[in-house]
A and B are shown apart, each in its own frame.
Chain A
Amino acid sequence: MKKRIIPSILLRGGTQVCLSQSFSPWRTVGALAQNLRLHVKRSADELLIINLDQAGGQQFVLPERVLRLVRQEVDIPIAYAGGIRSAFDAAVSINAGFDKVFLTSAFFDDPNVLKSIADVVGTQSLGLVLPYTRIEDENEAMVWDYRSKSIIDTCLKVAIDRSIALGVGEVLLHDVSRDGTLSGFDPFIVNDMEQLQPPIPILLAGGAGDAGHISSVLSSSWIQGIAASSIFSLTPATPVTIRKHCAEHGISMRRCTYVSS
């Protein structure tokens, strides 16, 4: 299986794309249409839309403008996160054109709903974003609630095990303290995953600043991909250049015939 480079697109105010720092919107960097077009042209392996307007909301709405642009521009896998709280919401998202859904709040508030979602859309279409942080660098990673902006009393490894038991097919571990810093990934997370040995794909986010940061985590067999946004807006790196760097470091990356740099 090839390792994946996944640009994440943070939406707010409809179809504006922004960057975040410490899980808070920070700077608007463009519009959804141009972002989708650019990432597809640069042959991203997958896309993740995180709709901040919907996050933590009570009623799930999938904006028609977003759907229209996705259907118009995207010929690669694309996942959606933001406000999905039920099997019905997940089914609406999949049927609207997304390949996977990612949840966070529902896992905190009503974990059993994940099982009902997996029963409807299948384990392979259900992902979980787990924000986490460490109080001190070498302390155990703890789950962090983006709504209260505080640690909750669950260690990351326990949360991953619990999510797998509920039918989650993929987990994205997002280091909040490194979000938007371009300073590199959590240096302890690969070791944590090598100890835990989760049977499902694990993705990392938070801190990707150059291709070296990415190859250093993707060289572990326990990390299947990375999600990132700032690196694609604030540095010259593209999925193509990152993939080339990783392949040169012996990491199995996707090959495609048609590539724009």
Chain B
Amino acid sequence: MIYIVNFPFCNFFSLERYLRVRNTPYKILTLSDQLSSIDHVILPGVGTYEQAMSYLNDQHFVPALQAHVDNGGRLLGICLGMQLLFDYSQESPGVQGLSLLSGGCVPIPTAPGFRVPHIGWNQLVAPEGQNPQSCLFDFSASSGCSRSDYYFVHSYVVKPINKLVTTACFQHPDGLLCASVSYQNVTGVQFHPEKSGLDGYSLLDRLLADSTSA
């Protein structure tokens, strides 16, 4: 079963549309739900880091999500949801994240020719030193870039301590910045596949493959 954490400010209805179109059952996560290792939790999010973590703390979801991951359950963070997987964000100093992955979030550096917030469609780039042959993202073997573009809307970017968790990047004048992470049963995407048209829906199919077929 797919569970969605329904933040007060989030892209719930966009996700709900995707699941409806795909005829995939889902539930909104409540504290009384007994998550099992075959369940897949989606952590969406729009807004600020502090507000999102306040909600998770107030609802007592933090230990529940950590236990779910510890038990082998899958967790997908989208946009702010991906940032929450880490320890902190400079957007909200002093606020502790879920700490499922090591690292934090920093403002996207300003640079000539790059506007912040990073709003709009961009291509994904295979991380440096990694094989671009990924069946998850549609990287071209020759260019190392995705064949489709995805929709981004964010001002902060994740900096994982373990660089090997980065599975996709986007190009910035200062170099590649993190667009997606994956480590064992935890996955995050900084962009919005649920808002990226049919290409995004196709990517979500792959990200949720195990749970939709379960």
Contact = CB atoms under 8 A, between A and B. Distances in A.
Interface in A220-248: 221, 224-225
Contacts of B205: none
B175 interface: no
Q: How large is the interface on A (under 10, 10 to 19, 20 to 34, 35 or more residues)?
A: 35 or more
Interface centre among B46, B119, B153, B202 (most CB of A within 10 A): B119
Contacts of B197: 40, 43, 75-76, 256, 258
Contacts of B117: 123-124, 169-170, 200-201
A2 B155 contact: no
Interface residues of B, number: 46
Interface centre among B116, B192, B200 (most CB of A within 10 A): B116
B115 A1 contact: yes
Interface stretch (B14-22, B29-37, B63-71, B97-105): B14-22
B12 interface: yes
Interface stretch (B127-135, B143-151, B178-186): B143-151
B51 interface: yes
B155 A124 contact: yes
B201 A75 contact: yes
B17 to A, nearest CB: 6
Interface of A: 1-4, 40, 43, 45-46, 70-72, 74-77, 91, 94-97, 99-100, 119-125, 169-170, 199-201, 221, 224-225, 254-258
19 contacts: A1-B122, A2-B149, A4-B120, A43-B197, A75-B21, A76-B197, A99-B192, A99-B195, A123-B117, A125-B153, A200-B115, A201-B115, A221-B113, A224-B119, A254-B149, A255-B123, A255-B147, A257-B199, A258-B199
Interface of B: 8-14, 16-18, 21, 46-48, 51, 80, 110, 113-123, 138, 147-149, 151, 153-155, 192, 194-202
